[in-house]
Amino acid sequence: MKTDKQEVSFNRGVPATQSLPKGKVSEVAASVLDRYGDSLLQYGSSRGFAPLRKKLADWYEGATSDGVLVGNGSLQILDMIANLYLGPGDTVVVEKPTYDRAITIFNRAGAEVRGVNLEQDGPDIEDLEDLLETHDPTLLYTIPDFQNPTGISASTKKREELAELTAEHGTLVVEDSPYRKLRYRGEEKPALRSFDTEGVVQISSFSKLVGPGIRVGWVVGNSEIIDELAVYAEDTYITPGLLSQGVVNHLVGEGWLEENVERLIGLYGPRLEATLGSLEEYFPEADWVRAQGGFFVGLWLPENTEVNEFYNGAEKENLILSSPEGFFPDRGGEDFVRLPFPALPPGRIEEGIKRLGRVWRSL
């Protein structure tokens, strides 16, 4: 039988092209320009579009719009936090593995980045406690819901323990939650910030809920931190992209966003099931995360795999895989493979994982 050699890319975690609401955004942009055009095209508050800040505050118990800043994507907000609160000599604790761009941001700020081991239900609490005691970190960065790159979600118990430990040590926690609304199985868990509204700031984004090009992210936290971020933002870009924020404000306000989340769950849920089912069928020798949502399934190659040969074989099979080293603060993790699934239809996912198993068995 002829082998399908069409490229299968498990490289980037991007939304499916068919999920991008081009027509809706075009329609809404015209509407908000008619209504808010003068204010959206003029300089405005560095805190973001006030009506959107109010709507976002309503998502959080006890929050007000003074505790919300809306900026140009959550990654830029993370960069501002790093520049405000980190410098040479400071330590940051991240999950191991974690989002590669977060590691880059913390390294660029001059901080030492330490990794806490991840278990199937979240960070290893004993390992975290040891890091807090021995390194006195300034900041802890965590993705508790459907983590990038593993797909792991922290248990409620571990969220509470993490919040208690970091509060005891005076460590600022950044909870990154871009995938939180994209749950395809299981029960929702409380946000980490619900256990500590003073010491935890939550950042998130509309990149996965509307589209990455919209470049709208936000942070919710205590008023002191938000005030400091607002000053930093004003001195960085004066005003964020208000037109995009006006569009998002309309999408949230008319109920379209929640309807779209349901559409995304309907689109991506079967793709997660295809990923997990294909791993069971075609690569049972590996170890992987039984993710319940988000964009990723993390996989560890069987012990004693010749990793370089595996990646060479994957390339010959026209499989595009991201390099694993960037996800680890110590540049380890050669046996780790990130499998992003939303951009691929189930048939392509199955074909890609079939090739992964075939490559490994050929070694």
- The Cα 299–Cα 319 span in angstroms is 15
Residues in the chain: 363
Q: Is 208 helix (H, G, I), strand (E, B) or coil?
A: coil
- CA dihedral of residues 25, 28, 34, 35 (deg, nearest 10): -120
| Claim: this prediction has a pTM higher than 0.75 | yes
- The Cα 263–Cα 64 span in angstroms is 29
Q: Copy the structure tokens of residue 60.
A: 């959080």
Q: Which of 56, 84, 333 is nearest to 232 (CA)?
A: 84
Amino acid, res. 292: Q
Q: Which of 184, 188, 190 is nearest to 159 (CA)?
A: 190
H or E stretch at 200? strand 200-205
Q: Copy the structure tokens of residue 259.
A: 């309807």
Provide the β-strand partners of residue 219. 69, 203
- The Cα 293–Cα 126 span in angstroms is 26
**Do 146 and 177 contact (CB within 8 A), yes or no?**
no
Q: How would you write 103-168 as a 3-class SS string? A: HHHHHHCCCEEEEEEEECCEECHHHHHHHHHHHCCCEEEECCCCCCCCCCCCCHHHHHHHHHHHHH
- CA dihedral of residues 113, 114, 118, 123 (deg, nearest 10): -100
Give the pLDDT confidence score for residue 2 in this predicted structure: 40
Give the pLDDT confidence score for residue 101 in this predicted structure: 98
Amino acid, res. 70: V
Give the pLDDT confidence score for residue 162 in this predicted structure: 99
Residue in the block written with tokens 């409380």? 190
Amino acid, res. 84: L
Q: Copy the structure tokens of residue 274.
A: 């295809």
DSSP state at residue 320: E
* Residues of the chain where predicted confidence (pLDDT) is lower than 50: 1-2
Residue in the block written with tokens 């709208």? 216
Residue in the block written with tokens 């992210």? 217
Give the pLDDT confidence score for residue 5 in this predicted structure: 83
Report CA torsion sign: 144, 92, 100, 339.
negative
**Structural domains of the chain ordered from first start:** 8-20+258-361 (3.90.1150.10), 22-254 (3.40.640.10)
- The Cα 79–Cα 215 span in angstroms is 14
CA angle, 132 then 162 then 95, to 5°: 70
Q: Which of 346, 344, 305, 351 is nearest to 324 (CA)?
A: 305
CA 8 to chain centre: 22
Residue in the block written with tokens 């199955």? 350
Q: Which of 256, 257, 245, 215 is nearest to 52 (CA)?
A: 245
**Do 166 and 34 contact (CB within 8 A), yes or no?**
no
